[in-house]
Amino acid sequence: MSSPRIGVATTIGVWVVLAAAPALLNEWRMSQLAQLVSYGIFAMSLSFVWGQTGLLCFGQAIFFGIGAYVMAMLTKGMLHGWPSGTGFGLLAASLVPGAVALAAGPLMFRGRGLSGAYFAIVTLAAAVIVERAASHWDWIGGFNGLLDVPPLRIAFGGRQVDLLDTVPVYYTLLAAAALVYAVLLSLERSPRGTVLRAIRDNETRTSYFGVDVARYKTLSFAVSGCVAGFSGALFATQFGFVSPALIGVPLSTEVLIWTALGGREVLLAAFLGALLVRSVESVLSGALGNYWLLALGALFVLTVVLFPAGLFGRVLALPLPKRMRQG
């Protein structure tokens, strides 16, 4: 077990390296990295709901996809009467999936709610169905989705500037990632976060302490949904398109793999997991084709069996909050 001090040092180190990336990588690699940051934020959303609260969600891409679609439709002006600016788009893209999670929560967690396994199955089924429904819904583009999603538009020096260059885009996304990280981390380290982990480790016992388990689960689910939607919106502005591929099982599976490989219980580990897998994938999948996914699946199985804490989980784990340390 590495000393917790190492965790602080490595965490800071990772952020420093990320901030310095434009100085370290060439243009093309930078644009690759910029694309990966939204995935990293996506992975953090899953780490929060799964690693902290113990809710294994097989349909996390549903929230990602909703955020992406909402952002796309708003900024393309498809929803008349609603603002089409970046700011409102990001806000809506975060809140709508959160609202969906908020509504679905009581259905799944109240009373003798769904246990961990059943929750996984239900979210999987939901992902399958949402993907199929999205493919057949022509208003949102059907199978092909929506193209020409505008890029991020920031008010800079009194003007509206489209973020198109790699480095500004990267730093904007990195700032967004840092913001999300700060928010989620502070939630994790707060007393509420402790309750979530208590629910994860022993739900029954925690409920005996008078904790409204269903409410905590729903809120955690909603927060994670907001973050996932936010990352989906960012993705849409970068890639310029949204499609049912962003909302279904394949992407849900991928984010699960990233998070498990990186380290489900440590936010930054999950973030890095996404970055790592995706960047290796872009290098190898060209050469290996279908063998890449086979190898990834096998690696995933190996990780689950042998390294449940993930590849980076140990090394990036932060020490307990001061209020919880003994002596």
Partner 1 sequence: MQQVLITALDATNFMSALLLVTLGLVIIFGLMNVINMAHGELFLLGAYMVVAVDRAGGSFWLALFAAPVALAGIGLLMEELVVRHVYHRFIDTILATWGLSIVIKQAVIILFGPTAQQVSNPLPHAFPIAGAAYPAYRLFIMAVALLVAGATFLLFYRTNLGLAARAVIANRPMASSLGINTRRMDRFTFAFGAGLAGLAGAVMAPLMSVDPQMGVGFLIPAFLSILVGGSGTLLGALLGTTLIAGASTVVSSIWTQIIAQVVVFSVAIVVIRLFPQGLTGSRK
Q: At its nearest, how many Å lie between partner 1 and the CB of residue 27?
A: 33
Q: At its nearest, how many Å lie between partner 1 and the CB of residue 132?
A: 5
* Residue that is written with structure tokens 């990001």 in the block: 90
Q: At its nearest, how many Å lie between partner 1 and the CB of residue 220?
A: 16
Q: At its nearest, how many Å lie between partner 1 and the CB of residue 205?
A: 17
Nearer to partner 1, 10 or 252 (CB): 252
Nearer to partner 1, 118 or 156 (CB): 118
Q: At its nearest, how many Å lie between partner 1 and the CB of residue 148?
A: 27
Nearer to partner 1, 13 or 297 (CB): 297
Q: At its nearest, how many Å lie between partner 1 and the CB of residue 1?
A: 19
Distance between CA 240 and CA 292 in Å, rounded? 26
Nearer to partner 1, 55 or 169 (CB): 55
Query: Do 3 and 138 meet the contact criterion of CB atoms below 8 Å apart?
Result: no
Query: Do 26 and 63 meet the contact criterion of CB atoms below 8 Å apart?
Result: no
Among 184, 260, 270, 268, smallest CA distance to 11 is for 268
Q: At its nearest, how many Å lie between partner 1 and the CB of residue 114?
A: 7
Tokens of 327: 């002596």
Nearer to partner 1, 7 or 265 (CB): 265
Nearer to partner 1, 122 or 276 (CB): 122
Q: At its nearest, how many Å lie between partner 1 and the CB of residue 43?
A: 15
Q: Which residues bind partner 1 (CB under 8 A)?
A: 54, 56, 58, 107-108, 111-114, 116-118, 120-122, 124-126, 128-129, 132-133, 136, 249, 253, 256-257, 260, 290-291, 293-294, 296-298, 300-301, 304-305, 308
CA 148 to chain CA centroid, nearest Å? 23
Nearer to partner 1, 143 or 156 (CB): 143
Nearer to partner 1, 133 or 179 (CB): 133
